[in-house]
Structures are given as structure tokens and as C-alpha cells.
């Protein structure tokens, strides 16, 4: 039989034991790394990936998951609460986002027209670029080059770089339905480099070796002086206004990062600070 003393100890011990289990579980949860997630423009992946280790060292038990997907996908994911920070080359189009976001500007990234080195010309006018991407110019001979068929290479609709080209260069002209679609700057550069007659566009976030960077009218792209180049994206980081403080801290850190110039991000108006976005 159970004595009265054993009964009392048992009755008192059950909640105490339960409390100890709850405390232990809470401590184990506290020991688990907290996770932040970032998604968006592939052009910013190199910079963010290089910057994260130092931030993580300053924030124990915090780890950051990084994935591409394109500017539009990143904006949609942060608005729905599926990720903490979105990387975007473009501002959210009117009506695309229904919740208030905070924008942290990074600066600018040049977008350059690139071609296979053997096409026979070093520069193009804007109307010629439009015709090449649209497919209405089918051979490089038509712009003074070699007898090579034109192979346009573009980015998917989710790409911020494509949106910049569409609005600032194509001016309503559609890209050819025969264009090769590649998901990243690196894939575009590789395709153009290895395909005689190919022409594409990339954000200048990497060395552009063994590929022809076209002059655009009177403009010549110089990595040492990108401010004079007329085509550029204006990348930013977006977080929800109700985001956790850690997300704001990381966005602020990245917006002022010292490694931006290594990855083709140069200063522009309003760089390195939060801006209220009410979309």
C-alpha cells in the first residue's frame, strides 16, 4: 500500500516534474539556432553570401538560409511571411504587394549588353539592341558584323534585370519567343561565351572575361567608373514592417556592407538606409 507520505510526495512531485520537463524543453529550444531566411535576385547572392559569416559571428544562435528565385518571387514570399528578407532589383509594381514593406537601398548595379567575342562589332545603338533581342535582326551582318545568326539570350519574367531592360531599353518591344532563357547572370554569360552569334545581358556583378561587353551608343562600360553607364538596376532589401528585430538588424547591416564594391554594387542616391514603402 502507498503511505500518506508517499501519496503527498507523488501529488506534489507530478507538477514539479512537469515543470522541470517544460523548463528543459524551453532550454533546449533556446539552444537551437534561430533561423532567418532570404530569397530573391540572383545578382545579389554573391554579396550577401560573402557578408553573412561576419554578421552570424556577431549574433550567436542565429543562422541565415539563402536561396535565389528572382526579384518577384522574393517580394511575394516576404509579403506572405514565408521569408524574412527579400532581395530585389526592382521596386514592387503597383498592386503587387498588399502589406507595408520597409526598403533598404543597396545602391546600383550596371546592366551590360554582352555578345560572343567573334560577332565582329564592338558597339551597338539602342535600336539595334532592341532589334537583336526581338529577333527582327537575324544576322550580325545587318549591323556590320560577321556572317553569324543572332542567338538572343534573356532572363525569365521573374528577373529584375529583364524588367529594367524591358522598361529602359526595349520600350515596349517584346523579346523574341525564340530567345534562350537562363536563370542567372552566370548562366547567361556562359551561354553567350560558348554560342557563336549569341547576344544577352548581365548585371556586372562578376568578372566579364572571355566575353564581349558591347558599347551602347556613345557609352563605354568601365568597371572602374560604372556611374557613367546608362543602364543599371537599383537593388534593395525588403522586409515587412512587422518583421522581427533581427530581420531589421540584418537588412541594415547588409545595406551598409563594406564588400558591396567587390560585387559590382556602387553608390547611388539614397544608398544604405531604410525607406518606408506603403504598397
Answer yes or no: do 151 and 62 share one domain: no
Cα–Cα distance measured from residue 265 to residue 152, given in angstroms and rounded to the nearest whole number: 26
Residue 122 lies inside a defined structural domain of this protein: yes
Asked whether residue 11 is assigned to any structural domain, the reply reads no
Instruction: Read off the pTM.
Output: 0.81
Query: Three-class SS of residue 94?
Result: coil
Mean pLDDT of 133-158: 96
User: How many domains does one find in the chain?
Assistant: 2
Q: Would you say residue 1 has pLDDT above 90?
A: no
**14 in a structural domain:** no
Which residues contact residue 238 at a Cβ distance below 8 angstroms, ignoring those fewer than 6 apart?
Answer: 74, 75, 78, 85, 86, 88, 92, 101, 102, 103, 104, 277
Q: Tens digits of per-residue pLDDT, 79-111? A: 999 999 999 999 998 888 889 999 999 999 999
**Highest mean pLDDT range out of 55-64, 125-134, 159-168?**
125-134
- Residue carrying C-alpha cell 556562359: 190
Shared domain for 218 and 252, answered yes or no, is no
What is the domain range of residue 172? Answer: 109-228
75 and 169 share one domain: no
Question: What angle, 0 to 180 degrees and rounded to 10, lies between the N-to-C axes of helices 45-58 and 245-255?
Answer: 120
Amino acid at each position: 500500500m502507498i503511505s500518506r507520505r508517499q501519496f503527498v510526495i507523488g501529488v506534489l512531485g507530478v507538477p514539479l516534474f512537469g515543470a522541470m520537463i517544460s523548463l528543459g524543453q524551453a532550454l533546449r529550444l533556446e539552444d537551437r539556432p534561430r533561423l532567418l531566411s532570404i530569397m530573391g535576385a540572383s545578382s545579389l547572392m554573391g554579396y550577401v553570401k560573402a557578408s553573412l559569416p561576419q554578421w552570424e559571428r556577431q549574433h550567436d544562435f542565429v543562422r541565415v538560409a539563402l536561396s535565389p528565385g528572382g526579384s518577384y518571387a522574393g517580394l511575394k514570399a516576404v509579403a506572405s511571411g514565408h521569408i524574412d528578407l527579400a532581395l530585389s532589383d526592382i521596386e514592387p509594381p503597383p498592386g503587387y504587394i498588399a502589406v507595408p514593406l520597409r526598403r533598404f537601398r543597396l545602391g546600383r548595379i550596371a546592366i551590360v549588353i554582352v555578345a560572343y567575342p567573334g560577332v565582329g562589332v564592338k558597339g551597338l545603338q539602342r535600336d539595334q539592341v532592341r532589334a537583336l533581342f526581338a529577333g527582327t535582326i537575324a544576322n550580325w551582318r545587318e549591323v556590320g558584323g560577321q556572317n553569324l545568326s543572332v542567338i538572343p539570350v534573356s532572363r525569365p519574367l521573374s528577373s529584375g534585370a529583364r524588367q529594367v531592360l524591358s522598361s529602359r531599353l526595349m520600350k515596349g518591344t517584346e523579346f523574341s519567343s525564340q530567345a534562350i532563357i537562363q536563370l542567372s547572370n552566370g548562366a547567361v554569360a556562359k551561354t553567350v561565351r560558348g554560342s557563336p552569334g549569341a547576344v544577352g545581358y548581365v548585371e556586372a556583378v562578376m568578372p566579364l572575361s572571355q566575353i564581349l561587353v558591347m558599347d551602347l551608343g556613345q557609352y563605354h562600360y568601365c568597371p572602374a567608373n560604372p556611374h557613367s553607364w546608362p543602364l543599371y538596376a537599383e537593388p534593395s532589401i525588403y522586409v515587412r514592417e512587422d518583421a522581427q528585430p533581427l530581420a531589421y538588424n540584418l537588412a541594415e547591416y547588409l545595406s551598409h556592407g563594406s564588400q558591396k564594391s567587390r560585387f559590382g554594387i556602387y553608390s547611388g542616391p539614397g544608398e544604405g538606409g531604410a525607406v518606408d514603402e506603403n504598397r
